[in-house]
């Protein structure tokens, strides 16, 4: 299992696949999950953020992207969340990529144009 390297924090190696109940695995891995979570360092995000997420993502639930979006917008920071209901982890469908690309470019143009 690969290590998770977090600059300036620590290097963690997750435990093997959970055995027993989910609550046992959660209790055992709680600190790893806390350190690995982007929400732990959300206060360090200072730039506008553009999130693109597939509603059917098997690796990162949509609720996690929604938490990032809410945490930033609640403090008045710009954060756009673009969700595709028919996508998983990444944009696989050409129509969705064609829809997302100009939106991402427009976001970058707004924030990077001098």
The whole domain housing 9 covers: 1-36
Residue 23 covered by a domain: yes
By the 8 A CB rule, do 104 and 50 touch? yes
pLDDT at 51: 96
Answer yes or no: do 9 and 64 share one domain: no
Residue 41 covered by a domain: no
At 36-68, the pLDDT tens digits run 888 889 999 999 999 999 999 999 999 999 999
Answer yes or no: do 74 and 50 share one domain: yes
Which segments of 44-98 are extended strands (E)?
A: 49-54, 79-84
Q: Which two tokens stand for residue 84?
A: 């595709």
Answer yes or no: do 8 and 32 share one domain: yes
Residue 60 covered by a domain: yes
- Please report which confidence band the pLDDT of residue 6 belongs to, taking 50, 70 and 90 as the band edges: very low
pLDDT at 55: 96
At 53-111, the pLDDT tens digits run 999 999 999 999 999 999 999 999 999 999 999 999 999 999 999 999 999 999 999 99
Answer yes or no: do 54 and 103 share one domain: yes
Please give the tally of structural domains in the chain. Answer: 2
């Amino acid at each position: 299992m690969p290590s998770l390297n977090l600059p300036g924090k620590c290097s963690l190696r997750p435990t093997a696949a959970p055995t027993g109940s989910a609550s046992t695995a959660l209790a055992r891995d709680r600190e790893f999950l806390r350190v690995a979570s982007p929400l732990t360092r959300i206060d360090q995000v200072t730039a506008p953020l553009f999130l693109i997420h597939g509603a059917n993502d098997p690796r990162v639930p949509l609720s996690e992207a929604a938490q990032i979006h809410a945490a930033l917008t609640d403090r008045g920071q710009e954060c756009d969340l673009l969700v595709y209901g028919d996508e998983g982890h990444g944009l696989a469908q050409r129509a969705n990529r064609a829809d997302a690309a100009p939106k991402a470019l427009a976001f970058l143009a707004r924030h990077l144009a001098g």
